[in-house]
Amino acid sequence: MPRPYLLLPALCLLGLTGCGEPSPAPRAPAATAAEPAPRARDAQAGGEATVTIGGQDEAETVQRWTPPPVTIDPAERAVARRRAEQAQREGQLFETSESAIPLWLALLEQDPQDRRARDGLQRAQRQLLVQARTLLAQPQQQRMALAEAAQIALVLLTIAPDNEQARALQRQVEVAQRTVAFNRAGEDDLRAGRIGEDGDGALVNFRDALALDPDNMRARQGLAAAESGLIGRAEIAARAGDFAAAGTWLAEASKVRDAATTIADAFERIEAIRAATLATLRARGLRDLATPQGLKAAGEKLEQAMRIALPGNADVALLRERIELATHYGSFRPGQVFSDPLRDGGRGPRMKVVPHGGFQMGAGLHEPGASDAERPSHYVRFERGFAMAMTEVTVADFARFVKAANARPRATRRGHSIVYDERSGNFIRRSGVDWQSDYDGGRALANQPVMHVSVRDAEAYANWLSEQTGRSYRLPSEAEFEYAARAGASGRYPWGDAGVPPPDSGNFTGSLDVSPTGRRWANAFIGYGDGYWGAAPVGMFKPNAWGLHDMGGNLSEWVADCWHASYRRAPSDGAAWFNPGCRARVIRGGNWANAPEQTRAAWRQSQDSDTTSGRIGFRLVRGI
């Protein structure tokens, strides 16, 4: 009886120990040398058999193809050839005993010189190569296709172990199977969120796949998906306001593929998110600043914006500037001019916002003309700006108060005040003089500074104005007055150290001034003249550097402080130094009849709180 065709040498397949680089997929433990070799598949169906090759330290399992057994009656060889040809035409090449290759092999077993069988077997090999290459090129269901291609390679290597095309096919199958395994592992990593930026995950698997097959489209698409995943993380971080993390993720994404345009597009999207976030923080911060207690909330918005902004960002700069302004000026700006409306339909005095800052208050140790009352010189800082009236309160301003409040100022009640007497050239008490009077007791003009008012009259006006406007008006502190009078300068006089005032700078005692009867000052600024003997209408002269008129001349002015003989223990924050019930108060600033030494920026003088005079007026400040 004819015997079955014997097995030819088998070659190893993908993923088995000793057959090249191992597959990344898990494999079953290899059989040991002591274990019996597994049996071949059913001999009727044909298939793969395995043998165990023992070594000192390990065992290796090797696969080979076993043709299904075929029995051919020598008298029926022609019939067997026709069956083989038919199977070959139908593409049934090796699977069963009725397939072409088992039949050709059986015919050659009986007659190795059978040229038709040998030719048929060669044609079958070529058909298998075509089938295998088609399977390798199949883009879908790759694992099944590769399994079939691997089976074909095993068949070819079994029947033609020295065929170079079969060996090349086996190598192609091995690479393809490993590539698919890497791609599948990478895709599993992507689904699990393991992109692999830390060196273990999808990126590693896809790169390993491309190392085997540089043109593998599936691996390239996998890298693109991994890159998209990293970009997605960057955008999620950006939307959460964590732009540091967004930058880190985008940097990782940029390493995935060379010169990918997607990175530039992602960067633009993230910068757009950053810009929108900063614009929102700026808008919310500015809204906070419009509320009474919003400064802290606006500061928190600025801190958030500074954490995420790039250097030089305009939104951060604007919000910082507005918070800085709000911190020191509320809703105002330094240098801003405004006038509050009154409830009766009028307007309050024109106010100027004085910048916040610090200065050295008082006279230096060696300042000519200074007294101990002006020392020690000390540093005062205003953490918040304030608004000061641009001029002294006018007669018209005060008249509105007297009428509306039905007030009776001190000189009116008392019936007299101190005026300049032209005949004697001295200051005397004169009856019938009050707030409506000029420096000499005559009728004052509406635009002249109000005089002949006590400090309590001035405070009563400030209280009335506060009620009318709903704002806090008051007399300035000594520190506020000197700070505003100096306007950033630090010299002996409000304008600096020059011994003569600049032209048109104020109403001072000048050697060129002449009284109505031809009197001149005995002690005056040499060569200076302003055209006035007595108080001038407000705002007639140039303002100082901060836009305030008559701070060093025209009238001396009441301030809020009580009199103290020196500045020892004086407040350093610019607040008024006030003791409830004190009668001795302070006037500041030179007037139209002061000696030059009394025009100095540090000059101060004590006055009884009931004093009224043709040389003393006042102006107000307002909190902002």
C-alpha angle 193-199-201 in degrees, rounded to nearest 5: 35
Helix, strand or coil, per DSSP, at residue 360: strand
Please state whether the peptide bond connecting residue 9 to the residue before it is cis, i.e. omega within 30 degrees of 0: no
Provide block-wise average pLDDT over 10 residues at a time, the chain (624 residues). Answer: 34 28 34 32 41 38 79 93 95 94 94 94 93 86 86 90 88 90 94 89 94 93 95 95 94 88 94 96 94 92 95 96 91 94 94 97 95 97 96 98 97 98 96 98 98 98 97 98 97 95 97 96 96 97 98 98 97 95 96 97 98 98 94
Contact 78, 43 (CB under 8 A): no
What pLDDT does residue 410 have? 98
d(CA 439, CA 421): 9
d(CA 347, CA 471): 13
Q: Give the closest residue to 577 by CA, choosing from 479, 499, 490.
A: 479
What pLDDT does residue 58 have? 42
What pLDDT does residue 330 have? 86
What pLDDT does residue 606 have? 98
Helix, strand or coil, per DSSP, at residue 378: strand
What pLDDT does residue 462 have? 98
The token duo for 360 is 């050295």
C-alpha angle 14-20-26 in degrees, rounded to nearest 5: 55
Helix, strand or coil, per DSSP, at residue 67: coil
Residue 258 phi/psi, 5° resolution? Answer: -75, 130
d(CA 325, CA 328): 5
**Single-letter residue type at 546:** W
d(CA 173, CA 161): 16
The token duo for 415 is 């019936």
pTM of the complete model? 0.66
What pLDDT does residue 35 have? 32
Contact 254, 260 (CB under 8 A): yes
Please state whether the peptide bond connecting residue 376 to the residue before it is cis, i.e. omega within 30 degrees of 0: yes
Neighbours of 610 (CB within 10 A): 14
Q: Map tokens 């597994």 to a residue.
A: 38
d(CA 297, CA 278): 15
